[in-house]
Amino acid sequence: MNVVNEAWFAMADLQNPELLARLQHKINNKTKPLGSLGRIEQLAIQLGLILGTESPRLTQAQMLVCAGDHGIVKHGVSAFPSDVTWQMVENFLAGGAAVSVLARQHGIALNVIDCGVNHDFAPRLGLIIRKVGYGTVDSLKEPAMSEEQCQQAMNHGREIVKSLPGNVVLLGEMGIGNTSAAALLLARLGDLDIADCTGAGTGLDHFAIARKVETLRLVLKRHASATTPLEALACLGGFEIATLVGIVLQAAIDNRVIVVDGFIASSAVLVATRLAPKVQQRCIYAHRSAESGHRLMLDTLQATALLDLGLRLGEGSGAALAWPLLQSASDILCDMASFESAGVARNE
């Protein structure tokens, strides 16, 4: 399956020993004991490498909440009905959802993207309509989407990023059933047992989780030949996840900072990094979700999250909560005095 231009996957290697040395020297010479700001120092250096400067300023951050419905929900893999997807999109736009509150609190531009919700929305400010279909089909019976639909969704993600200002994107999502899609992608691309990748999602009990696992095991068997990242995405994923893959690839090409939310957003990054490994250099993982598969997802990505707060909401809420840490890291690197400029004696 070849649905996108290979040029998408050609991006610069951010490993720059000279810039790294300058960044390390700069952070080491701030008025503090060496290494005393811990991971904030590492985060500041990563921001400098992504943005290619010793003074990385974060500008016009864009929260991209991609929404889509999933045909697999008819098999009882979610505690909520699929109508909740469009109802929550309306809640985002009305300013009442957690991610709406957090974006407003932190001055992040909130963009809600209809990638494939089973509902028609009235156009309005803050809504980007890029509908590929009215939800994916039942992946237990056939591929969740066609190759053409997968390509269209990824292209939409790319176009959205190119249309937006700033040098930071924060990944969010909404879609009843999308923890199942994320678990399927992790199991296939991480070569893991689906039982280890599957959790409660929106709040399933123990018995419902067991039924969910067996359903997803059958889906994997049905699509046993879908082994490449793009084949897996089309057969097992969702319109919102495919759109996020395009967003991640374009943001990486643009050398934007990519702030990854939880389990579903990480599944899109998993696909993107399998297509273009250097994507990983641009990614900052906001938090480790309480969704059971997310620990395995982060291990598979060889990633360490900034926060571990027991979150499992999605929407981009964890990315928004981590955003002040990125701002602090940037400001420390750019604005904190050095020993020389402050006239402070260092410990020799």
Q: What are phi and psi of 32, to 5 degrees?
A: -165, 160
Closest CA to 244 of 260, 228, 232, 227: 260
Look up residue 202 and give its two tokens: 């929106």
Q: Which of 41, 173, 231, 315 is catalytic?
A: 315
Q: What is the DSSP letter of 120?
A: P
Whether 315 is a known active-site residue: answer yes
Task: Report yes or no: 338 and 54 within 8 Å, Cβ to Cβ.
Answer: no
Structure tokens at 271: 């696909």
Structure token pair of residue 52: 């290619």
Continuous H helices in the chain: 17-28, 39-51, 83-94, 98-106, 147-163, 178-190, 194-197, 206-222, 229-236, 239-253, 263-275, 293-301, 317-335, 339-342
- Tokens representing 203 are 């709040």
Helix, strand, coil tally for the chain in percent (to 5) = 50, 10, 40
> Within a 10 A sphere around the Cβ of 94, how many other Cβ atoms?
10
Positions annotated as catalytic residues are 315
